[in-house]
Structure 1
Amino acid sequence: MFSSICATTFALIVVAAGKALAETHTVTFNNNCHTGTPTLISQTGQVLSTGGAYTINGPLRGAIAYLQTGSCGFNGEGCTLVETTLVNPTTDGSGSSTDLSLIPPHAFSVTTGFGYIGACAPAGADCNNAGCTTAFHKSSDTQVQVPCQQDNANLVITFCL
C-alpha cells in the first residue's frame, strides 16, 4: 500500500515538474516600416532581440519593445513602447498582459500594434496616432492592458501597420 502511494505521489510530481518546465513564450516582430531596428529589452536591461524571433523557456516578465529609429533612448524613450509580461497563469488573472505606452518620456513615433498568437488570438491593440485610446497616456489607464489567460502565450509586434 505504502509503495503504491509513493509511486502515485512520484508520478504526480514528475507530471507537475514536466508541465512547469514546458512553459515557453515567443515574441516575433513584423517590421512593415522597412527601416529601423525592432528591439526587445528585458526587465534587467538585457537586449534580447534586435529583430529576430525571441523564445524563452519560462516566463518573460516586464519586457519592453520598440522600433529603434535612431531617435529612441535605450528604454524606448521618445518612441512608442510595447510592454509585456508573458507567463502561464497559476490563478485567475495571473497570466500574460501586454500594452502600448505613450507615458512620457515615451511618445508616438510609428504606428505600432501587437497581437497574441494561438489561444488568445485575436486579442491585441494598435496605436496609429499620438492620441490613440489603446495606449497608456498616464499610469491610471489600466483599461488598455490586454490579458491572455492561456498557457504559452506568444506575441507578434508589428510596426507601420
Structure 2
Amino acid sequence: MFFKLAIGSLAAAVAFLQVNAESHTDTFNNKCGRGTPYLYSQTGQLLSTGEAWTSDGEALGLIATHLLGGCGTNGEECTLVEATLKNGASSADISLIPPHVFSVTSGLGYYDGCDDDGTDCTSASCPKAYRKPGDNFAIVGCSADNVNLAFTFCD
C-alpha cells in the first residue's frame, strides 16, 4: 500500500512540475539584408546568431543587437535591446545609453501573452529608448507566464 501511495505522490509531483515549468522563446525578424542579430546572456554567453532560442526557465538579462560593420563585440556603437523573461515579471527595453547609439531600426514585441505590447526605435531621436539610467518609462512590462519575445531589425 505504501509503495502505491509513494508512486502516486511522485506522479502527481512530476505532473505539477511539468504544468508549471517555465519556458520562453526569443525569435528574430531580420529585415536588414546584411549583418547578423546576436543574443547574449547577462554573463556574455552567445545564445543565438539569429535563430530562435528557448530558455528552460527564467531568461534574465538578455541582450540583443544587430551587428553591422561599425558595431563593437558587445554592441557598442549600435542599438541595444535588453530583456528579462520571467513568469509574472517580464520586462524589455531599447537602450541608447552610451556607448550604444542608434544604428538600425529596432523593435521588440511580446507574443503568446501580452500580445501587441512592445516598442520600436525608428530613428536616432527615439523617444521611447533609455538614454540615461533612470529612464524607466522605456520599460515594456508583461505579467503573463511563459511569454515569448520577438526582436525585429530594419523594419
TM-score by length of 1: 0.86
1:135 aligned onto 2:129 = yes
Residue of structure 2 in register with 1:85 after alignment: 84
Residue of structure 2 in register with 1:64 after alignment: 63
Q: State which of 109, 117, 134 in structure 1 corresponds to 2:111.
A: 117
Per-residue displacement from partner, 1:119-141 (whole Å, max 9, x unpaired)? 21100000011111111001111
Alignment RMSD: 2.0
Cα deviation for residue 87 of structure 1 reads: 0.9
Query: Structure 1 regions of 5+ residues with no counterpart?
Result: 1-5, 90-94
How is 1:6-155 mapped onto 2 (pairs within 5 angstroms)? 13-20=13-20, 22-89=21-88, 95-155=89-149
How far apart, in 1, do the equivalents of 2:11 and 2:139 lie? Answer: 38
- The residue identity in structure 1 corresponding to 2:17 is A
Cα deviation for residue 13 of structure 1 reads: 4.3
How far apart, in 2, do the equivalents of 1:12 and 1:97 lie? Answer: 32
How far apart, in 1, do the equivalents of 2:71 and 2:41 lie? Answer: 16
8 Å CA contact 1:27–1:54 kept in 2: the answer is: yes
Per-residue displacement from partner, 1:6-41 (whole Å, max 9, x unpaired)? 999767744543344x21111111011111100001
Residue 137 of structure 2: SS of its match in structure 1? helix
1:158 aligned onto 2:138 = no
8 Å CA contact 2:40–2:47 kept in 1: the answer is: yes
Count of residues in Structure 1 that have an aligned counterpart in Structure 2: 153
Residue 137 of structure 1: SS of its match in structure 2? coil
Shift in alpha-carbon separation, 1:17–1:140, aligned structure 2, 3 A:
same
8 Å CA contact 2:113–2:148 kept in 1: the answer is: no
Cα deviation for residue 83 of structure 1 reads: 0.1
Fraction of identical pairs, as percent: 52
Give 4+ residue runs of structure 1 displaced > 3 Å after superposition.
6-16
How far apart, in 1, do the equivalents of 2:47 and 2:109 lie? Answer: 19
- The residue identity in structure 2 corresponding to 1:114 is L
8 Å CA contact 2:87–2:145 kept in 1: the answer is: yes
How far apart, in 2, do the equivalents of 1:7 and 1:108 lie? Answer: 57
How far apart, in 1, do the equivalents of 2:64 and 2:91 lie? Answer: 14
Query: Structure 2 regions of 5+ residues with no counterpart?
Result: 1-5
Residue 143 of structure 1: SS of its match in structure 2? helix
